[in-house]
Amino acid sequence: MKTDTPGEELLFLPLGGSNEIGMNVNLYGCRGKWIMVDLGMTFADPSLPGIDLVFPDLSFIEDRAEDLLGIVLTHGHEDHIGAIPYLAAELGVPLYATPFTAGLIRHKLQEEGLDREVKLKIIPMQGKLTLGAFDIQYAHLAHSIPEGNALIIDTPFGRIFHTGDWKLDKAPILGKPSTPEFLTKLGDEGVLAYVGDSTNVFEEEESGSETGVLESLLEICKNRKGRIVITTFASNLARVHTMGKVAEATGRSLVLVGRSMDRIARVGRDTGYLKDFPPVLGADDVDTLAPDKTLIVCTGCQGEPQAALSRIATGSHSSIKLSKNDLVVFSSKKIPGNDLGIAHIQNQLALKGIEVITEKDHHVHVSGHPGKPELRAMLGWLRPQIAVPVHGEPRHLAAHAAFARSVGVKQTVVPTNGSVIRLAPGDAKIINHVPVGRLVLDGDVIIPADGRTVVERRRLQENGYISATLVVNKRGKLVATPAIALQGVPVEEDRERFVNDIIDVAERAYDKFEGNDEAKQLEHVRVAIRRFAKDNTGKKPVVDVQFARVN
Ligand SMILES: [Zn+2]
Ligand SMILES: [Zn+2]
C-alpha cells in the first residue's frame, strides 16, 4: 500500500483552489480509494509571459491513478472543468456531470479529439451515483451558470456537503434550486462536513436575484434611442436569457456576438434552457437593423483584447460600428487584474461619445457567490460538525472559517493546496501535506510553472538578449569578426555603434584570456559583454556566446 492511501478514515485533499480563486481540484479518500471533485484551470497573470492557461499539478493522484474511481464535476465554469481536455485522459477514469455541464465538456473534448477516449456520463439533475464507498447525490443550487450543483456525499464515516459555487436566489431566471426545507432536512439527518465556496465571504450583503437585473435592464433600455450593446460572461446563460427578454420587451432584435456566446447558446438550446428565447441574429445582420431596433449581446466584459467588445470599442470590428447616442452596458463585475483592459475599452468608448453603464451606476449585475447572509443561512440549515472553506485565497479561507465558528460550527479546518485533512474518525485535522504545484500551457506544451522555460522567458522579457558567435580556427585564433545579434536591448538608433562596441569587447576579452579551458574562455567573454551592456544601458541582458570552428 502506498503511503497516503486512505485507510479506515475519510480524507479531504485539495490539489487546487485552496490557495486561489481558480483551478479547483478536490479529492475525497476513503477505504483505499479516491474520488475527484472538479478539474479546473485558471488564467495566467503577467508573471507568466506568453502563457494563458494554468493547471494544477496532479502528480499525487496520477501516481495513484489505479485508486481513483471517477471525476465528479459540480458545474461548467472554467475554474471547475477547464483542465479536463488537458489532464483527464491520463487519469483514465469516467467523468460525471449534469446535462448542461456535460454539454460544455463534450464540446471541449471534441475540440481536442478526446471524446472517444474520455468517458463522460450524464447524471440528471438531483441524480445519484455511487463510486466505491461514496454515495453521491447532486443538489442544485443557484449560481451564475445553469446547473450549479452541490454534492451530497454519503460515506461510511458521515455525510459531506460539498457546496460547489452557489448563491441563494429567490427568483432565478433558469432552474429550480434546492429549497431551504430540503437543506434543513439534510441538516436534521446530520452533516459531518461542509466544504464550501469562500469567494464572497467579505460581502456583507446577499448576492441578489437575477430577476432584479432583468427589471433594472428593462428600465435602462426602454425608450432608449440608438444601439444598445450589453456585455456579460458568456457562461451566464440566465443573463443572456434576460437579454432576450429585454430585446422582446423593447422591440429590438437580439444579436449575439462572440464564439463563446454562440457555444453557450447552442448548449443551452440543446439542453432545453432557451425555450422561450427570441430569434437570434449574428453580427453580419447588424447593418440591416435600425439602431433603435438593435440589442447586441457580446463577450469581452473583462477587457479581453481579442473579444468582440474590444474590437467594437476600437472600431476594428468588421460589421459592428458604434456612434454617438449608442449605449454600452457592462452587465458584469471586474475580475481583479483586469482593471487596465476594461478601462482601456471604456476610454475608447468615451472618446467616441458613447455612454457606458456599469454595475457601479445601476443594478446591472449580481454575483454568483454567497455573501455573509447566504453563508449564515446555509450553515444554519445544514448545521455541520466541521466546516472546511475552499474556493478562495488564504485570506478568504481564514475569514470563512472564522465566520463559520461565529455562527456555531464547532470545528473548522483551513486547507492549503496539498493539505491532507482527516475528517473522520476523531477530530478533523490536517495530518499531512502532499506535493502540489502549477502547470502552464505554453503553446501546445504543458510545463511546470516554475520550470526552466518560464524562468528563461521571464528573463528574456525583462532584460532582452545578446548572442555572440566567435569564429575560430584550429589553433584557437579568431579568424573573422564575431557575429552579434540583439533582441530587446534598449539601444534604438545607437544599435550599430553598440554592436560594434560589443564586437570590440568580445575580441578583447577573447584575446586577453589566458589558459586552455574553452568553457572558461567563453564564460569570460560572456561576462565581459554582459558588463558592457549593463554599464551602457542599465540592463542585464541574457548573453549567449558560442564558437564556430573553421579550418
Ligand atoms: Zn462557478
Ligand atoms: Zn468557481
Position 2 scores a pLDDT of 58
Task: Tell me the CA–centroid distance for residue 479 and ligand 1, in Å.
Answer: 64
Ligand 2 geometric centre to CA of 233 (Å): 13
CA of 2 to the centre of ligand 2 (A): 31
How many angstroms separate the alpha carbon of residue 166 from the centre of ligand 1? 7
Q: Which ligand is nearest to the CA of 77?
A: 1
Q: How many angstroms separate the alpha carbon of residue 361 from the centre of ligand 2?
A: 26
Distance (Å) from CA 252 to ligand 2 centroid: 33
CA 47 to ligand 2 centroid distance, Å: 22
* Ligand in nearest proximity to the CA of 26: 2
CA of 119 to the centre of ligand 1 (A): 23
Q: How far apart are CA 453 and CA 442, in angstroms?
A: 9
Q: Could you tell me whether strands 134-140 and 149-155 are parallel, antiparallel, or unpaired per DSSP bridges?
A: antiparallel
Whose grid coordinates read 554582459? 530
- The cell for 421 is 485533512
CA of 143 to the centre of ligand 1 (A): 7
Cα 158 to ligand 2 centre (Å): 25
* pLDDT score at 51: 93
Looking at the CA of 104, name the nearest ligand.
1
How far apart are the CA of 128 and the centre of ligand 2, in A?
A: 22
Q: Find the 232 Cα to ligand 2 centroid distance in Å.
A: 17
pLDDT tens readout for residues 470-488:
999 988 899 999 999 999 9
Classified as helix, coil or strand, 119 is: coil
Cβ-based neighbours of 531, under 8 Å, separated by 6 or more: none
Query: Beta-carbon neighbour count of residue 431 at 10 Å?
Result: 13
> Which ligand ends up closest to the CA of 21?
2
How far, in Å, is the centroid of ligand 2 from the Cα of 303?
20
Residues of the chain with pLDDT under 70: 1-3
If DSSP codes are grouped into helix, strand and coil, which group holds residue 252? coil
Share of the chain above pLDDT 70, in %: 99
Question: CA-based angle 194:198:199, to the nearest 5?
Answer: 150
Ligand 1 centroid distance, CA of 373 (Å): 19
Ligand with smallest separation from the Cα of 233: 1
C-alpha of residue 241 to centroid of ligand 1, in Å = 18
Going from the Cα of 414 to the center of ligand 1, the distance in angstroms, rounded, reads 21
CA of 229 to the centre of ligand 1 (A): 25
How far apart are the CA of 166 and the centre of ligand 2, in A?
Answer: 9
By CB atoms closer than 10 A (0-12, 13-18, 19+), residue 291 is middle
List the domains of the chain with CATH numbers: 10-205+367-448 (3.60.15.10), 210-357 (3.40.50.10710), 464-549 (3.10.20.580)
What are the pLDDT digits (tens) for 342-362?
A: 999 999 999 999 999 999 999
Distance, CA 198 to ligand 2 centroid (Å)? 10
Whole-Å CA distances, 336 to 45, 207, 310: 11, 18, 18
Mean pLDDT across the chain:
95
Distance (Å) from CA 76 to ligand 1 centroid: 7
Distance from residue 478's CA to the centre of ligand 2 (Å): 61
- Find out whether the peptide bond into 279 is cis, omega within 30 degrees of 0: no
Q: What is the Cα Rg of the chain in Å?
A: 28
Give 133 Cα–ligand 1 centroid separation in angstroms: 27
- Residues, Cβ < 5 Å to ion ligand 1: 77, 165
Residue 77 alpha carbon to ligand 1 centre in Å: 5
Ligand 2 center to 83 CA (angstroms)? 13
Q: How far is the CA of 163 from the centre of ligand 2 (A)?
A: 11
Would you say the pTM of this structure is higher than 0.85?
Answer: yes
Ligand 1 centroid to residue 165 C-alpha, Å: 5
Q: How many other C-beta atoms are found inside a 10 Å radius of the C-beta of residue 547?
A: 14
Between the CA of 380 and the centroid of ligand 2 the distance, in Å, is: 23
In this predicted model, what pLDDT tens digit does every residue of 300-337 receive, in sequence order?
999 998 899 999 999 999 999 999 999 999 999 998 88
Ligand closest to the CA atom of residue 148: 1
Ligand showing the shortest atom-to-Cα distance for residue 80 = 2
Interval between CA 369 and ligand 1 midpoint (Å): 8
What are the C-alpha distances in Å from 493 to residues 42, 460, 461, 484, 499?
Answer: 41, 21, 21, 16, 11
C-beta pairs of 489-497 under 8 Å, 24+ apart in sequence: 489/464, 489/465, 489/533, 489/537, 489/539, 489/541, 490/464, 490/537, 490/539, 491/537
CA of 234 to the centre of ligand 2 (A): 15
